[in-house]
Structure 1
Amino acid sequence: MIELKNITKTFTGKQGSIHALKDVSLSVNQGEIYGVIGYSGAGKSTLIRCVNLLEKPDNGSVKVNGVDLTTLTPGKLREARSHIGMIFQGFNLLKTATVYDNIAIPLKLTGLDKKEVKSRVNKYLEIVGLSEKQNAYPAELSGGQKQRVAIARALSHEPEVLLSDEATSALDPDTTEAILDLLLKINKELGITILLITHEMNVIQRICDCVAVMENGEIIEEGRTKDIFTSPQHSTTKRFVNSLFSHDIPDDLLEELSESGQVATLSFFGESSGDPALALVTKKYDIFPNILSGNITRLKDEAFGQLLVHFKGDTAEINKAIQFLQEKQVHVEGVTLNERHQRIS
């Protein structure tokens, strides 16, 4: 559905050249919710703006539904953009227009007749749950309601792809949850492919099928959300995952525990999250597992949990227990003092 190949983008200013994107490639399948996460300055905003050519890349190709947008004439590009909706952090609503007109005016500009405009406005206001607010003005709406209007406006063009540029970062946690639920609904019921950027790992965790991690204009790690959460490889990815599962224990305690056994992070996903695998370990092997900290959450439709556990006992028995846990589809990662610093630095 979306295929970016070898995208580069450089901005030149008084401070010199800034290499915002460096040979970035990315593929999003039809029907997926794909998240791109990174800290400020990673290049993610530039990347998503290249998808609909709000920013034209210096090099590389941008294909949406098999069409390379970088090769199109201005007229053909406008037509192609009509199939790509976009929502922004700042809502971008007309302050002097009603909710109805904020959605209707862009539709009228495309040449739709009055009857079709009304039909679409009513349809998508109902989908986002704001039918009763069509005569209200933006100043009368909450932040979450404003974002719902922006989403309805993007959907009213009936796009195949929806781009989300930090759409929840200006919202409080409860409103963010509601908007994420709405995006899930849109993806499931309308079949729209969603590409979003964010700096919040909880957004990735809640709705994304796949994730790419960006740093300094490059993708440093990507894959299925499940795989990234259970086995992050890059230190930056580990920092993002650790922001949801913070196992912060004192260094001296970790050193002390390591002398009498092994400290490990156990990740449970899907069916394994409900299996009493750790309890079975105590019956099968001569060790004593002590849970130091833990949490459980959801990765889109499946449960995901993490425990920090101290296995006290003989090394051979601990190794057998870890092998048993792995056979039960539990991901086990040993924790040393150096690795722990790497995780939380």
Structure 2
Amino acid sequence: MIELKNIKKTFKSNKKLITAVDGVSISVKEGEIHGVIGYSGAGKSTLIRCVNLLEAPTEGEVLINGENLLELSSEELRKVRGGIGMIFQHFNLLQTVTVYDNIAIPLKLSGVAKKDLKVRVEKYLEIVGLSDRAANYPSQLSGGQKQRVAIARALSLEPKILLSDEATSALDPETTDSILDLLLKINRELGITILLITHEMNVIQKICDEVYVMENGQVVEQGPTLELFAKPEHPTTRKFLNTISQRQLSDTLIETLNVSGAVTRLTFVGQSTGKPALAEISKRFAVTPNILAANIIELKNGIVGNITVHLEGDAIALKKALNYLRDVGIRIEQLGGQIR
């Protein structure tokens, strides 16, 4: 449904040419939720604004349902944009009108018939859980409620695609969870395709089918969310994962423990999370496991468990134990020592 091909976007600043996005390609299938994650300055905001041509790319193609937006007339582009909703970090609500009118005014401007307007506004206020707030002004709402109004406004135009530009970054964790639950509900019940950008790994964790990690204007790693959580390759991806799981141990601790064994990170995916693997290697190979850190991460499409463990035993026993763990489907990352 959404396909970005080799997108490049450059700006001029103080006579210097700055490349904000550098050769990025993304493909989002209908009905899926994809996330782009990166630190500030990675280029993710510029990228998402290229989808509806709020920013026209310097090079590349922007395809919506196979149609290249860069080849459309102004009128044709306006029609395509009508099927693309967008929500922002700071809500962009009109402060001097009610919640009802914040949704109704864009509908009037888009030509929705008067007889349909009230039905449309009430329908989407109910979907976002704010039917009782229609007469309130934005100043009377919490941050989460304001974002729900912004979502209702975007949905009221009945788009097939919803773009989310850091929609939860100004919210507290509990409110963030409620907004993410709402986006999941919208995706499942209305079938809307969602592309979001964020710097919060928990957002990716909870709702995304696929993830793209950006750095310096480029996608440095991408793939199904379950795969990236289970086996991150790029240092930036690993940094993001460290923010939500106990994956990081000091080099000094690892060096100390490796003298008497091996420090290893074990990653369990899906059904392997229920296997008593450490108990088995203790019984079979005379290897003593000492758990240093552990966590289980629930993703939209599966479960990933990580255990950082110090394995004590002689070299032959350790090697047999690690081979056994691989054979039963557990991914192994040795953090130090010579045993492979």
TM-score of the aligned structures, taking structure 1 as reference length: 0.95
2:255 aligned partner: 255
1:229 aligned partner: 229
Are residue 146 (structure 1) and residue 135 (structure 2) matched? no
Cα distance in 2 between the residues matched to 1:161 and 1:151:
12
Alignment of 1:194-213 (within 5 A): 194-213=194-213
Do the aligned partners of residues 301 and 81 (structure 1) sit closer, same or farther apart at CA in structure 2, a change above 3 Å counting?
same
- Alpha-carbon deviation of 1:15? 5.7
1:298 aligned partner: 298
2:177 aligned partner: 177
Cα distance in 1 between the residues matched to 2:263 and 2:73:
60
- Alpha-carbon deviation of 1:215? 0.5
2:136 aligned partner: 136
SS in 2 for 1:19: strand
1:104 aligned partner: 104
Question: Which letter maps to 2:166?
Answer: E
Are residue 20 (structure 1) and residue 15 (structure 2) matched? no
SS in 1 for 2:123: helix
Answer with 131-140 or 237-246: which moved more: 237-246
SS in 2 for 1:36: strand
Question: Which letter maps to 1:245?
Answer: S
- Alpha-carbon deviation of 1:297? 2.2
1:46 aligned partner: 46
Alignment of 1:1-345 (within 5 A): 1-14=1-14, 16-336=16-336
Cα distance in 1 between the residues matched to 2:184 and 2:149:
16
Answer with 241-250 or 172-181: which moved more: 241-250
Answer with 206-215 or 13-22: which moved more: 13-22
1:273-332 CA-to-partner distances (Å, cap 9, x unmatched) read 222222222122210111001111211142222111011112222222222222322211
Cα distance in 1 between the residues matched to 2:332 and 2:195:
31
Cα distance in 2 between the residues matched to 1:233 and 1:318:
25
1:221-278 CA-to-partner distances (Å, cap 9, x unmatched) read 1001111111111111111112212344443331121111111111122222222222
Cα distance in 2 between the residues matched to 1:105 and 1:27:
33
Identity %: 60
Cα distance in 1 between the residues matched to 2:29 and 2:58:
24
Which 5+ residue runs of structure 2 have no aligned equivalent?
none
- Alpha-carbon deviation of 1:63? 0.4
Asked if the contact 2:257–2:310 (Cα under 8 Å) also holds between the matched residues in 1, the reply is yes
Answer with 103-112 or 300-309: which moved more: 300-309
Cα distance in 2 between the residues matched to 1:115 and 1:266:
60
Asked if the contact 2:254–2:335 (Cα under 8 Å) also holds between the matched residues in 1, the reply is no
SS in 2 for 1:319: helix
Asked if the contact 2:226–2:302 (Cα under 8 Å) also holds between the matched residues in 1, the reply is no
Cα distance in 1 between the residues matched to 2:297 and 2:227:
15
Question: Which letter maps to 2:189?
Answer: E
Cα distance in 2 between the residues matched to 1:329 and 1:100:
54
Aligned residues: 337
SS in 1 for 2:183: helix
1:10-48 CA-to-partner distances (Å, cap 9, x unmatched) read 010226221001111111111111000000000000000
Cα distance in 1 between the residues matched to 2:217 and 2:253:
38
SS in 1 for 2:309: strand
Runs of 4+ in 1 over 4 A off after TM superposition: none
Which 5+ residue runs of structure 1 have no aligned equivalent?
338-345
SS in 2 for 1:20: strand
Answer with 310-319 or 49-58: which moved more: 310-319
SS in 2 for 1:3: strand
TM-score of the aligned structures, taking structure 2 as reference length: 0.96
SS in 2 for 1:31: coil
SS in 1 for 2:177: helix
Cα distance in 2 between the residues matched to 1:10 and 1:248:
36
1:342 aligned partner: none
1:341 aligned partner: none
1:94-124 CA-to-partner distances (Å, cap 9, x unmatched) read 0011111111110111111112111111111
SS in 1 for 2:95: coil
RMSD (Å), alpha carbons: 1.3
